[in-house]
Structure formats: structure tokens, C-alpha cells
Amino acid sequence: MENTKNTNYNEEKEKETFTRINDKRQIVGDKHEYNQKLPILIQAEKLCEKLNKIDPFDDKKREKIYKKLFKSFGKDIFIRPNFRCEYGKNISIGNKFICNFNCVMLDCADIEIGNNVMIGPNVNIFTINHDIRAKERNQFVTYYKPITICDNVWIGGNSTILPGVTIGKNSVVGAGSVVTKDVPPNVLVSGNPAKFIRDIDNEEK
């Protein structure tokens, strides 16, 4: 996957403000950690505002925003407005990425997107969750798990991908699904919660 790296990305500085996650561990954040990250949150929100106001077909202007916003991105990516993310710095995007209207990515943990991925309108990708216990929730305790979307995945409109999920290569998520568990390669899943519908034959005829 040939990606363009964010030239403004300072790894040492990020280590001070981000808990890096490269596996399925559950990481806990609190209000103090949130306050440390606030400047990055504000920057990402401003960059998303700028991105959503640029002509969707003005690749040069949009690429300038991508370089400041994302951790890395590939060739031929097309993101329609209104796109929103929380940090941007935890999002890696492969080649030939299509993202339709009104996508939200809450990237407190890593979101890794492969090549040839298609995302329908009104899709939510959430790496963060609040504690279900009122006391902890009121103290701003949150839990992060990374999300991986492998090559050639299509996520149908109005779907939600929840923390810790990996969607396997060539798989399809039906419109309106809530994906709570890993999706194997080469399958169709759909529903709330998303369940296996059938295998997809991706072998060449």
C-alpha cells in the first residue's frame, strides 16, 4: 500500500498525548487525557470544516488538507462532504478510497483502511465507547479499540462499525448494519447486530 505520510506528523510529540494501540487491547482514557488532546481535536475540526468547503473535484487543494489531517493516505481517494473525524492523526487510508456523504470517524484509536474500499453515505466508524456505569461515565471514562477495514471492502449506507472490529478482505456490509464483531473475508453480513448472510465467491471465473 503506497501511502503519502503526513509530513506534519511528529511521532515523539504524539507519544506524549496519544496512547498508541497496535492490537485488540482495551485502553482507558479520562478527562485529563482528553484535555491534553484538546488542541489536536480543535485542529482536526477546523481541517474538516475546510475540507468540506473545498470543491470535491479540486484534488490539489483537498490533498493539502489530507496531508495535515490524516496519518497517511494513498492515491485516488475521494471523500464527499460532510466528512468528520475526531483526530485524523490515527486514520490511515489506502489507494482508491471512495467515501460518500456524511461519514463520521471517531479515531481515538487507529482506523486502518485498505485499498479499494467503498463507504456508503451516513456511515459511522467508532473506535471509542463510554463506560455503561453512570459514575465512571460521569468521570469521562472511555474505552478505545482499533478498527481495521481490509482491501476491497464495501460498507453500505447508514451502517455503524463499533470499536475493535476487523472487516476482512472482499467482504460487504449491508446497508443499515451495526457491526459489533469481526467480519471474515469474502462474506456478506447485514442487520443489527450484523450477522452472516452468505459467502461471496471472489474466485476468477
Bridge-partner residues for 154, per DSSP?
Answer: 118, 172
Give the span between the Cα atoms of 168 and 191, in whole angstroms.
Answer: 17
The active-site residue out of 130, 133, 195, 198 is 130
Active site residue 32: no
Give the span between the Cα atoms of 74 and 63, in whole angstroms.
Answer: 10
Give the span between the Cα atoms of 181 and 82, in whole angstroms.
Answer: 27
Give the span between the Cα atoms of 43 and 41, in whole angstroms.
Answer: 5
SS (H, E, C) 71-93: CEECCCEEECCCCEECCCCCEEE
Count other Cβ atoms within 10 Å, centred on residue 88: 24
Which stretches of 80-145 are assigned E, i.e. beta strand? 84-85, 91-93, 97-99, 104-106, 111-113, 118-119, 124-126, 128-130, 142-144
Give the span between the Cα atoms of 173 and 17, in whole angstroms.
Answer: 33
The DSSP secondary-structure symbol of 101 reads S
Known catalytic residues are 130
